[in-house]
A and B are shown apart, each in its own frame.
Chain A
Amino acid sequence: MKEPYTNILVYLDGSEDSVTAAMAAIVLAKRLGATLTAVYVVNTRALQDLVKARIFLDIEEQEYRRDIEGDAQRYLNHVERLGIQKGVKVIPVKTSGTVHTEVRNYLQDHHMDLLVLGGISEIHSRRDELLSETDRMMRTAPCPVLVVRDSDMVWDMFESLPDAS
């Protein structure tokens, strides 16, 4: 029987929840023998919006872009190391643009069959519902979406998975 998921993508955004999602994705990938890709999108759309609205000066835009790109690399490296610890190769992908669009395009272009997300943020207002990137990602994904919520359970699952020898 074919495994249900063979190409898994986990979305990282620098939050604790997204790292927990990555741990769950590593466990799944190991159990299913699936390929695991971790994507971090540098939100250049938001940066451009801030420059356009003249909230950011050009110098700030450059500084924050460097900061976010540094964050992206750190989180991708961290998840890669978690994968190595459990014998799962994690393919790191750093991209930039509008977050939900970039993720949807990657899912489509690379024939991913499962998107793993952590931290769907709480919706406080109608405006949040319209603008939440993770919410839009979940609604526009062309494949099934797994939302990881219980971090204690994920930690237990991850810890109980034997380390790579």
Chain B
Amino acid sequence: MTLTDVLKKDLIKIPVVAQTKIAVIEELVDVLVASKNQINREELLSAILSREALGSTGLADGIAIPHAKTTTVDSIAVVVGITEKPIDFDAQDGKGSQFFFLVVAPEKEASAHIEVLASIARATSSGAFRRLLAASRTAEEVMELFLE
């Protein structure tokens, strides 16, 4: 399984308007909750924040991948968000984060969860790809970029 297997236009938020780490996570969680009515928002948020408490998922080069296993989803979901400007996400390179991939998976789908995370890491490792991502203004443009 790869990111493109689970990428959905209605789960892409541009721009993310929140300006703090917690608020960005909440905004992305709300996108997912709005798309699937059986999800328990608090449970999902708690799972993501518990993982974040162990160490920031803000990586280098503006990428952040908050993620968690949770029983409140029945399949893997990815919410993509892009802020207009980098925000402080406690990233490992000390710089701001601008591209967010919230990844949640049910506990029984560990293999697929790992594959999706790895496919995000591979896709975003290219500087050229990140520049194109930064230039994207709509969910359609982001979809096209990943499906190219």
Contact = CB atoms under 8 A, between A and B. Distances in A.
B115 A57 contact: no
Contacts of A47: 114
B111 A50 contact: no
B94 to A, nearest CB: 13
B148 A50 contact: no
A53 interface: yes
Interface string B78-117: 0000000000000010000000000000011111111101
B113 A64 contact: yes
Interface in A56-75: 56-57, 59-60, 64, 67-68, 71
A53 B114 contact: no
Interface in A1-16: 13-14
A128 B111 contact: no
Contacts of B111: 13-14, 43, 68, 71
A75 to B, nearest CB: 10
B65 interface: yes
A121 B114 contact: no
A50 B4 CA distance: 18
Nearest to A59: B54
Nearest to A47: B114
A55 B115 contact: no
A125 to B, nearest CB: 5
B83 to A, nearest CB: 20
A62 B32 CA distance: 28
B5 A122 contact: yes
Interface in A114-128: 121-122, 124-128
B122 A131 contact: yes
Given A50-B121, A53-B121, A67-B107, A124 B115 contact: no
B132 interface: no
4 nearest interchain CB pairs?
A124-B4, A67-B110, A46-B118, A53-B121
Interface of A: 13-14, 43, 46-47, 49-50, 53-57, 59-60, 64, 67-68, 71, 121-122, 124-128, 131-132
